[in-house]
Amino acid sequence: MSGSAGFGRTGYEEDELLMISGMQHYAFCRRQWGLIHLEQQWAENVLTYEGRQLHRRADDPYFTELRGDVLVSRAMPLVSYRLGLYGVADVVEFHAVVDSAANKTRLAGRRGWWLPYPVEYKRGNRKPDDCDEVQLCAQAIALEEMLNVSVPEGALFYGERERRVTIRFDLGLRTRVQELAEQMHRDFASGVTASARYEPKCGSCSLLAVCKPKMKTKSAVKYLSDYLHGELD
């Protein structure tokens, strides 16, 4: 697929694809996204460690399991050329469709008709913003594009309370995902990390020491360069 450059384009090429997981970073903080996806900066803290351990349970690409009328597929590769995103879904449940509903798809090597239902694993509890919801919705849009089926909802599984939250992919959420994807591509094309701005949520970010939001440095690379040249205390 191909499309015109800029806002509102209809498709991206293979070498333009960005990571679906980056949408969660971008919605949480544009600067965090830039540090990770533009400057290749990363740091572990207890929150990211716990999240990685939780995902380890789900990320087995060789595991599929049939539970009654639900086929569970783990670590399923995803791509959306419309959004320009690729990645891996923690879990996609395929629910058997036994009636005459038009919204259904076939699966290779499986009989019958199925409806995909993405499930993303997160540590902790549900967040006050929509950064988890937009990532899950982007996965759903990729599934729709790949399987030519409508995906109306999915779920977020929060490990701290082992609670599953159903997420409806309504027009508002889909529009938000489209806009974020376009902004991500613009930022990636510019190659410029967003400026630092301190907010209360910065305290939970594993990149706090690299970002230095209270110092308002524009990039981790510049900060480290100034530090090495003795320009910072």
For the domain that residue 92 is a member of, what is the CATH number?
3.90.320
Query: Domain count of the chain?
Result: 1
Strands 153-158 and 70-80: unpaired
Distances (CA, A) of 7 to 2, 88, 116, 120: 14, 26, 29, 28
Q: What would the pLDDT profile of 154-173 be if each residue is shown by its tens digit?
A: 999 997 677 899 999 999 99
Residue 224 · residue 218 · CB < 8 Å? no
Distance separating alpha carbons of residues 54 and 207, to the nearest angstrom = 20
Does residue 181 sit within a domain? yes
10 Cβ contact list (under 8 Å, min separation 6): 1, 3, 4, 82
Could you tell me if residue 55 is inside a domain? yes
Residue ranges making up the domain that contains 172: 14-30+45-191
Query: Which of 180, 175, 117 minimizes the C-alpha distance to 150?
Result: 117
In a domain? residue 209: no
Q: What is the CA radius of gyration of the chain?
A: 19
pTM above 0.85, yes or no: no
- pLDDT tens for 177-197 read 999 999 999 999 999 998 888
